[in-house]
Amino acid sequence: MKTYKGPDLFKGINDLKEVKAFLGNSQGDETRTNSVEAFKAAKGWLSVSQEFKNIDYLNQEKVDELSDTLQKENDEYIKLLKETGEYGKFDGNITFSLMEDPLMDKTSKSKKSSLKFDIIDFLK
């Protein structure tokens, strides 16, 4: 089993809701957009962000409406944190452990390996 420590989390900085509907999903791709046309043109090279999966994300108007709503929620959250003196305070970090499944994972001690896994956020 391997345990990984993710990045430190800071209130109001890296715990905000994603306001872009479509995100690059290949290594090094930092694309973030709300353009439905760009999503369609990417032909699978963009993913739908979690916040947008419960709407008709192929409808530009719906994407724009939700993006505006999420941005307002983020702004209100930041405002509240600043008023209470909590903005920017350390809020822990993400730690997760992976255990190899002998039926699914074939790893070699002599070669670098790549593992795929899903992280389920039960807090949302």
Q: Does position 18 have pLDDT exceeding 80, yes or no?
A: yes
Considering the domain boundaries, does residue 46 fall inside one?
Answer: yes
Considering the domain boundaries, does residue 32 fall inside one?
Answer: yes
Tell me the mean pLDDT in the region 11-40: 95
Q: Does position 1 have pLDDT exceeding 90, yes or no?
A: no
Considering the domain boundaries, does residue 85 fall inside one?
Answer: yes
**What is the pLDDT confidence band of residue 6, given thresholds at 50, 70 and 90?**
confident
DSSP state of 17: P
Considering the domain boundaries, does residue 25 fall inside one?
Answer: yes
Domain count, the chain: 1
Considering the domain boundaries, does residue 91 fall inside one?
Answer: yes
Considering the domain boundaries, does residue 122 fall inside one?
Answer: no
- Sheet containing strand 46-48, edge to edge, reads 32-33, 22-24, 46-48
pLDDT digits (tens, 9 = 90+) for 96-123: 787 777 777 665 665 555 656 666 655 5
Q: Which two tokens stand for residue 73?
A: 């929620």
pLDDT digits (tens, 9 = 90+) for 64-103: 999 999 999 999 999 999 999 999 999 988 787 877 777 7
Q: Mean pLDDT of all residues in the chain?
A: 87
**What is the value of pTM for the model shown?**
0.72
Measured between alpha carbons, how far is residue 114 from residues 45, 97, 99, 104, 106 in Å?
A: 19, 15, 13, 13, 10
Helix (H, G, I), strand (E, B) or coil at 48: strand
Distance (Å, rounded) from C-alpha 44 to C-alpha 39? Answer: 8
Q: Which residues form the domain of 27?
A: 2-98
Considering the domain boundaries, does residue 117 fall inside one?
Answer: no
| Residue of 110 and 31 predicted with greater confidence | 31
- The residues, ordered by sequence, that sit 6+ positions from 9 with a Cβ below 8 Å of its Cβ are 15, 90, 91, 92, 93, 94
Considering the domain boundaries, does residue 118 fall inside one?
Answer: no
32 touches 46 (CB < 8 A): no
